[in-house]
Structure formats: C-alpha cells, structure tokens
Structure 1
Amino acid sequence: MPLNKQILLVSRPQGEASVDNFRLVQTETPPLADGQVLVQHHYLSLDPYMRGRMNEGKSYAAPQPLNEVMIGGTVGQVVESRHPRYAVGDWVVGMGGWQEYSVVDANQPGVLRKVDVSRIPPSHYLGAVGMPGVTAWYGLVKIIEPKAGQTITVSAAAGAVGSAVGVLAKQRGCRVVGIAGGPDKCAYVRDELGFDDCIDYREHRDLKSLAGALKAACPNGIDGHFENVGGMVLDAVMLRANAFSRVALCGMIAGYDGQPLPMLNPALILINRMRIEGFIVSEHMEVWPEALAELGELVGSGRYRPRESIAHGIASAPEAFLGLLKGRNFGKQLVKLV
C-alpha cells in the first residue's frame, strides 16, 4: 500500500489563519477491508467554507477536529477495489480531504460519485460541475428566482461560485453585473463569462463610491443579489435594491477571521420588502441532479469556460488556501496532486 502525505489541522486560528495552523505528515495507507476502495486523489478542492470549519465556535457545520486530516473535496481514480460497484480506473468525486490517498467505505451512501471525464475535465467536478456550481444554481434558481429582464448582481464574481451564478443568470435572460477585485478579473467576467458589466471593488474604497458604481451599472436597480462577501459590498447592494428584491446569502468571507459584520441599514429590508435567505447547499441534495445536468451541458458544450488557479503538491495546500481567503486566486482554487 502506498505512503500517504496528509495535511492536518493542528491548532485553531486566533484572528487570521496561518500556515502554522497546519502540519504535513506521512502515514502508511492501511490494507483494504471488504467493501472498501483506495482512491488516489488527482485534485483537491480549496473553498472558503473551510475557514469557518477551522473555528471552534457555533456554525452551520461541526468544527474540523484537531490533529485530523483537513476536510476537502477531491476527484481521483480508484487504484484498488474490494467493492463490486467500483473498478480500478474509475473516476470518482468524494470528500477525501487534504491528502494524496483515501480509503473509502463504498457501502456508505453518497460518499463516492462516479464521473465521466470524456467531455468534462476531472478538475471541473470540484468547481463548475461540482459543489460550487450547484451552490450557484440553488441560490440563483431557488432563492433569487430570476426572471428575464431583471438585474442580478453577484459578489466575488470571478470565483468558482460567482462565475457560475452569472453564466446561469445570463442563460435566463437577465442583466448581470459582477463585483470582483482587479481589472484582470473584471475583464474575464465581462469578456469571457459574458456578464453585462463588472465593478472593480478595489477602485471603490468607501460605501458611497461603491454604491455610486452600482447605480451606474444597474440603472433600473437590483432585483436579485448573490452574496459571497458581506460587509460593505452587501451594504452597497442594499442601497440599490428594488422593492421585493431577493438576496441569496452564500458566504461572508469578509468576516471569516472572526470580526463582526454589522449591517449598516437593516431598515432597507423592511422598506423594500426584501427577502434575504442563507443556505447550505448540502442540505438540498434533491436539486443536485438537475443542477449538475445543466452545468455539465454548459461546460461540456464550451458555453461556460471556468477559470482555475492550480497549486502543485499537497504541501502547497495551506499557502494556496490562505491566498484564496485573500482573493489571490483566479477562478476555482485547486491543488494538483498527480
């Protein structure tokens, strides 16, 4: 059995996360029992939700245990199998964690999902045709409920979730305005993803400036907003929100280091009769087949070309993750392991 390099969470962050919260170890992979498969991970997914798991306080998911392999989605190939449904060479997606190999009890429902890599590259099953894509689909379709001609905004628009929100909203005939950090990301959002406009938040250091940019980009106001950031971005969007607008609250990355994120003008929720709904996509497994079918068709046909930022080797995962939290990634952040 192969030696397995793993990244453990060994301490909880005090404020910002750091590489010192993680440790690289090497262990022997145990022999397989009946019903188990050995998966060699080709790609590891890095996602903002992992920062919340590092904390010990109350959240929507249990904290990541200390001195255990850090949680994370993976795509890879079966290299040994003692289960009749899985053969050597099968491509599978699962929650293998920050490690090169995982031993999986394949009798547990939902722990592994076979994927077809003939039309869709395997890495996209961790992004546009995986959890981030379904997150975008659910928030847009089930919460924002867009109608043709409406204006939809999305923060972190160049990221794995935000880019999918925009593409899906354009498919539904909406005007789509992104918010992203830097001219390169904004150009990608406009020119490659087909958003109608994109605002570079780095050019707008205060609420008045950002709200002014949104007013110019959204002359008819905002009917729906997909929020990944929180803080000043959400305050600016609310100043431009129309009556009966809807906000899908997916992430609050501006507050992941523990500082509170007060809302400047919550009275606007009442004045505009807004609906703001937070959601966790793993609680809505019933929509995954429909969402993945649409996303797979968009990617497979070339109508949606997701960007990826790829770090190399399991040892690079902590630095790549910290860079993700700072917005240094461009598109979906992955670690290539093979």
Structure 2
Amino acid sequence: MNKTILLKSRPKGRPETTDFEFKEIEKPTPKDGEVLLRSKYVSVDPYLRGRMRDEKSYVEPFKLDEPIASAVVAEVVESKNEKFKKGDFLTGMMEWKEYQVSDGKGLRKVDSEKAPLSAYLGILGMTGLTAYFGLTTIGEPKEGETLLVSGAAGAVGSVVGQIGKIKGCRVIGIAGSDEKIDLLKDKFDFDAAINYEKTDDMGKAIRDAAPDGVDVYFDNVGGYTLDAAMENINRFGRVVHCGAISLYNETEQPTGPRLETKIVKKSLKLQGFIIRNFEDRFAEGIQQLGSWLKDGKLKYEETIVEGFDEIPQAFIDLFDGKNKGKMVVKVY
C-alpha cells in the first residue's frame, strides 16, 4: 500500500497533529511519459502554515481532505519517460505521499555525489535561494555594514548570515537558545548573537550588540523582534521581509508601533518577497551557492527526523524552534 497525509482541518492557532490525517491509497502505476517516484526526503517549512488558511495569497491554499505538498527529493523507481531513468533523484514540489507518479514537469535532477540529497532541500534548495536572493538583491549588503538576522539559526537565517560575512558585513544573529547562539558564533562565524529567551528588552540587546546601528535587517520573525530592529535601524537602512513566524499562528490581527515617520525620516527601504519572484534566476543562485559550498565559504546545519509518519510533528516542531538549520524528514 501507499501512505499519504491529508489536511483534515484548518488549524486554529498552533497546528496540532489532529489537523492531519493519514490515509492508505493504492500504489500508482506510471503511464507513458510518467515516472513512479518514491519519496526520500521531505521538506517542512513555516510558510506551509499560511497555505493551511482558507484565504487568498500568492499561492492557492491547501484543500481539506487532499494531500499536502512541499519540496521533496524522490527516487525514480520506474520510468516511462525518456528524460529520466530508474535510480535518478529528482526534486521539486510533490505531495506528501510515499509513492506518486509525475510527468516530470517542474522537477529537476539532483546529483547525490555532489552533495547529500537532503542538501537540495536546504542550502542548495529553496531555503538557500531565499537567503541568497533576499539578501543580495533586496538587502544589498556592503562591506563594513552591520547585518542583523532574526531566526538566525534556522535554514534561511544561517545562510543569510554567512553570505553577509562573504560580503564583508559585521553580522549579528538572533536565536532562541544558548546552544543555537554557540552554533551561530562557532560554526557560522557570526560576530555576535542574541538569545531572545534571555532578554526582556530586545531593543537594548540589539543596541548593545550593534552600537553603530543596523544597516540591513533580514526578518524571519516579525512582531516584537521587527519593532526592536526598527529602533536601531540606520539612515538608508534596508529591511528584507522574508517571514513572520511569530505571527503565523495568531488568531487575531496583531498591532504594533507605527513606522511611517521612521521610514520617511530615515529614508528606509522595506520590502517583502517570495522566492518565486526570482524563478528565472534559480540556476544562477544554485551555481553561486554550490561554488561557495565547495570552497568552504558556506556551511549548513540540518535537523533530520526519520519516518514518513513523523512529517506532521516535524512541521509543528518548527513553531517551537526545535530545529537547527533546515528541518527535513527522511522517509527511507
């Protein structure tokens, strides 16, 4: 048989395992032009929470009682498509199923000899590309500037900080445990790091870590952390809005400081983005990230959870900060 994971109910606040349903379906057989794929690694990402809401966004919401989808690395176990052969590994958006068929559109081959397969869901996948394009094209970091990164020990944030160092910035990260703070400084070469669990005044903590102010703020968190970063932003500062994980499970519209006068007085740039904005440049991004990785200029961390049945819990654990680097589920 063949397991799949459906969205059973739309979460109210923090997702629960009861919002998901496991279902056994028939293992499919590929038709002419198709391949049979077996999921090997499944990516779980905070943005999936938005797709569980029944509201208009940049991508269609998940439908109830239908499979959830995310980035997956899968192995071709049977091919009736001349472009692919048995044993090839492909990545792209796929459903949360053990086995599925595809015509190959939207999927690309990945090489397990050049990098571990899980890396194509992280440093060489959407999270790496998100960090690369978000920072370089919107943040526009310059040598000698100060870069502040929230969610810095996560999949995107850890890469953002390292690219900032490559670009000659002084880099400060914000994370939620002493273990993650050590990871930022010891493995990823951040110049300073702030444990938000140990400060009652984030504005002051940022000011102490960045006495000359912040030139670029890469925001993965939103909420009070964004407010505190804005207290310390320099004239002509750039704010890159990548995510707002602190707000994803809110059931009411949050309010915060009004930033309009600060934006005008300091000539600030604030811009949100989604990685699809740069789809026509993915090859460029992957080539650059791969080159930096090969040269030892980039390192990455993964939290790998084993077992198809653990996918929903791994996703939920993102909101408790249980991941260091990219959260990936190894199916087999």
Is TM more than 0.5 here?
yes
| 2:141 is the counterpart of 1:146 | yes
Supply the AA of the counterpart residue of 2:140: E
d(CA) in 2 for partners of 1:221, 1:14: 38
Deviation at 1:71, TM superposition (A): 1.4
Q: Is the 8 A contact 1:120 1:300 kept in 2?
A: no
Percent identity reads 42
| TM-score normalised by structure 2 residue count | 0.96
Equivalent residue for 1:95, pick from 85, 93, 100: 93
d(CA) in 1 for partners of 2:49, 2:42: 16
| 2:216 is the counterpart of 1:218 | no
| 2:268 is the counterpart of 1:274 | yes
Deviation at 1:97, TM superposition (A): 2.3
For residues 29-80 of structure 1, the C-alpha deviation after alignment (integer angstroms, 9 at most, x for no partner) is 2211111111111100000000000011232221111111111110121111
| Structure 1 residue runs of 4 or more that deviate by more than 3 Å after TM superposition | 300-303
For residues 77-96 of structure 1, the C-alpha deviation after alignment (integer angstroms, 9 at most, x for no partner) is 11111111101111111112
Equivalent residue for 1:239, pick from 224, 231, 235: 231
d(CA) in 1 for partners of 2:8, 2:115: 36
Q: For residue 116 of structure 2, what is the aligned residue in structure 1? A: 121
d(CA) in 1 for partners of 2:40, 2:254: 37
d(CA) in 2 for partners of 1:81, 1:12: 36
Residue 80 of structure 1 aligns to a residue in which SS?
strand
Q: For residue 292 of structure 1, what is the aligned residue in structure 2? A: 286
d(CA) in 1 for partners of 2:27, 2:294: 35
Supply the AA of the counterpart residue of 2:141: P
Q: Is the 8 A contact 2:28 2:36 kept in 1?
A: no
Q: For residue 184 of structure 2, what is the aligned residue in structure 1? A: 189
Supply the AA of the counterpart residue of 2:72: T
Equivalent residue for 1:305, pick from 284, 289, 299: 299
Q: Is the 8 A contact 1:189 1:198 kept in 2?
A: yes
Residue 219 of structure 1 aligns to a residue in which SS?
coil
5 Å-filtered alignment, 1:34-53, equals 34-53=32-51
Q: For residue 254 of structure 2, what is the aligned residue in structure 1? A: 261
Q: For residue 30 of structure 1, what is the aligned residue in structure 2? A: 28
For residues 275-330 of structure 1, the C-alpha deviation after alignment (integer angstroms, 9 at most, x for no partner) is 11010101221221111112112233443221111111111111111111221111
| TM-score normalised by structure 1 residue count | 0.95
d(CA) in 2 for partners of 1:113, 1:300: 21
Deviation at 1:233, TM superposition (A): 0.4
Structure 1, unpaired ranges of 5+: none
Deviation at 1:105, TM superposition (A): 1.3
Residue 79 of structure 1 aligns to a residue in which SS?
strand
5 Å-filtered alignment, 1:198-209, equals 198-205=193-200, 209=201
Residue 160 of structure 2 aligns to a residue in which SS?
helix
Aligned residue pairs, count: 330
Equivalent residue for 1:85, pick from 80, 83, 86: 83
